[in-house]
Amino acid sequence: MAEVQSFDNLLACRNLLKASVDNSTALALALDKTGPRIAELDQKLTFLEMAIRPGGSKNCTFAAVRDHISLALGPSAAVLKILDSIRELEKSLLSDSLPHSDIFSYISTIKQFEDAIKFLTANCNLAIQWLEGVIQFLEGNSVADDRYISKVKRSVAILEELQATGEQAGRNGELLSGAFAKLEISFKQILTESNAPLGFTNSSSPWTAEQAYNAALPLPGPILRKLQAIVEKLNTGNRTNSCISVFIEVRSLNAKNSLRALDLDYLENAVEEYDDVQDMEGCIHEWSKHMEFIVKCVLESEHMLCKEVFGSLASGAWTGCFAKIAVESGILLFLRFGMSIAESKKSPTKLLHLLNIFSVLETLRMDFNKLFGGESCNEIKTMTRDLVTKVVNGASEIFWELPLQVELERRSSPPSDGGVPRLVSFVTDYCNRLLDDNYRPILTQVLRIHQGWKYEKYEEGLVTNQIYSIVREIAVNLDAWSKAYERKALSYIFMMNNHYHFTSLKGTKLGNLMGDSWLNAHGNYKEYYSALYLRETWGKILASLTQDNPDSSPKMRLMAFNEAFDDMYKKQLNWVVIDESLTNKMHKLVVQALVPAYTSYLQKYRVVVEHRSDVFYTVQSLETMLNTLFKAKQVKYTSSTIGSHLTGEQRNAVIDQLRFTLTAM
State the DSSP string of 310-324. Answer: HTT-TT-HHHHHHHH
Helices 221-236 and 174-193 sit at what angle, rounded to 10 degrees?
160
Average pLDDT over residues 597-613: 72
Q: What 3-state class would DSSP assign to 562?
A: helix
Percent of the chain scored above 90 by pLDDT?
39
If one counts every other C-beta atom within 10 angstroms of the C-beta of residue 15, the result is 10
- The answer as to whether 214 is a domain residue is yes
- The answer as to whether 76 is a domain residue is yes
Average pLDDT over residues 411-438: 94
CA within 13 Å, CB half, 120: 30
Cα gap 152→146, rounded to integer Å: 10
pLDDT confidence of residue 206: 54
pLDDT confidence of residue 75: 63
Does 399 share its domain with 416?
A: no
As a whole number, the mean pLDDT across the chain is 78
- Torsion region of 384: left, alpha or beta (phi above 0 gives left; psi -120 to 50 gives alpha): alpha
Pick the more confident residue, 36 or 387: 387
Q: What 3-state class would DSSP assign to 583?
A: helix
Cα gap 135→154, rounded to integer Å: 11
Does 436 share its domain with 478?
A: yes
If one counts every other C-beta atom within 10 angstroms of the C-beta of residue 657, the result is 18
Query: In terms of residue numbers, what domain contains 117?
Result: 59-167
Domain termination residue (choose one: 146, 167, 188): 167
Q: How confident is the model at residue 116 (pLDDT cuts 50, 70, 90)?
A: confident
Pick the more confident residue, 57 or 215: 215
Average pLDDT over residues 146-173: 62
Does 464 share its domain with 332?
A: no
- The answer as to whether 656 is a domain residue is no
Average pLDDT over residues 542-565: 77
Q: Hey, CA dihedral for 76, 78, 84, 86, is it positive or negative?
A: negative
Does 212 share its domain with 122?
A: no
If one counts every other C-beta atom within 10 angstroms of the C-beta of residue 127, the result is 28
Does 97 share its domain with 138?
A: yes
Tell how far CA 78 is from the center of its chain.
Answer: 64
Q: How confident is the model at residue 269 (pLDDT cuts 50, 70, 90)?
A: confident
Residues in contact with 202: Cβ distance below 8 Å, sequence separation at least 6, in sequence order: 289
Asked whether the predicted pLDDT for residue 30 surpasses 60, the reply is no
Q: How confident is the model at residue 357 (pLDDT cuts 50, 70, 90)?
A: very high
Does 131 share its domain with 256?
A: no
Does 313 share its domain with 436?
A: no
Radius of gyration from C-alpha coordinates of the chain: 47
Cα gap 117→305, rounded to integer Å: 35
DSSP H stretches of helix in 409-487: 422-435, 440-453, 462-482
- Torsion region of 485: left, alpha or beta (phi above 0 gives left; psi -120 to 50 gives alpha): beta
Average pLDDT over residues 491-495: 95
Does 110 share its domain with 235?
A: no
Residues in contact with 363: Cβ distance below 8 Å, sequence separation at least 6, in sequence order: 206, 292
pLDDT confidence of residue 22: 42
Q: Hey, CA dihedral for 74, 77, 81, 87, is it positive or negative?
A: positive
Asked whether the predicted pLDDT for residue 261 surpasses 70, the reply is yes
pLDDT confidence of residue 42: 55
Most confident by average pLDDT, 35-44, 88-97, 356-365, 656-665: 356-365
Cα gap 340→467, rounded to integer Å: 28
Contact 505, 639 (CB under 8 A): yes
Cα gap 516→374, rounded to integer Å: 54
pLDDT confidence of residue 21: 34
pLDDT confidence of residue 665: 40
Pick the more confident residue, 652 or 661: 652
b (16+ CB within 10 A) / e for 424-439: bbbbbbbbbbbbeeeb
Closest among 36, 31, 35, 13 to 168, alpha carbons compared: 31
Does 152 share its domain with 187?
A: no
Domain termination residue (choose one: 403, 426, 461): 403
| CATH for 243 | 1.20.1280.170
- The answer as to whether 653 is a domain residue is no
CA within 13 Å, CB half, 335: 22
- The answer as to whether 6 is a domain residue is no
Tally the domains of the chain: 3
Cα gap 354→388, rounded to integer Å: 10
- The answer as to whether 282 is a domain residue is yes
Average pLDDT over residues 29-58: 49
Q: What 3-state class would DSSP assign to 508?
A: coil
Q: What 3-state class would DSSP assign to 631?
A: strand
Q: What distance, in Å, lies between the first and last C-alpha atoms of the chain?
A: 56
Average pLDDT over residues 137-154: 65
Asked whether the predicted pLDDT for residue 247 surpasses 50, the reply is yes
- The answer as to whether 448 is a domain residue is yes
Domain termination residue (choose one: 403, 422, 451): 403
Asked whether the predicted pLDDT for residue 23 surpasses 70, the reply is no
What tens digit of pLDDT does each residue of 338-350 get? Answer: 999 999 888 899 9
pLDDT confidence of residue 336: 95
Asked whether the predicted pLDDT for residue 244 surpasses 70, the reply is yes
Give ∠ CA 6-20-241 in degrees, rounded to 5.
55
pLDDT confidence of residue 335: 96
Does 111 share its domain with 243?
A: no
DSSP string, 334-364: HHHHHHHHHTSPP-HHHHHHHHHHHHHHHHT
H or E element: which one contains 183? Answer: helix 174-193
- The answer as to whether 277 is a domain residue is yes
Q: pTM for this structure? A: 0.74
Does 398 share its domain with 338?
A: yes
Closest among 350, 405, 423, 397 to 664, alpha carbons compared: 405
Pick the more confident residue, 29 or 456: 456
Percent of the chain scored above 70 by pLDDT?
65
Average pLDDT over residues 232-236: 88
Pick the more confident residue, 30 or 542: 542
Average pLDDT over residues 477-492: 95
pLDDT confidence of residue 7: 32
Average pLDDT over residues 351-360: 96
Q: How confident is the model at residue 475 (pLDDT cuts 50, 70, 90)?
A: very high
Asked whether the predicted pLDDT for residue 263 surpasses 70, the reply is yes
Does 148 share its domain with 196?
A: no
Asked whether the predicted pLDDT for residue 156 surpasses 80, the reply is no
What tens digit of pLDDT does each residue of 554-596 get? Answer: 778 888 888 888 898 998 888 999 888 888 888 888 888 888 8
Pick the more confident residue, 143 or 198: 198
Range from 63-77, 366-380, 538-552 carrying the lowest mean pLDDT:
63-77
Asked whether the predicted pLDDT for residue 37 surpasses 70, the reply is no
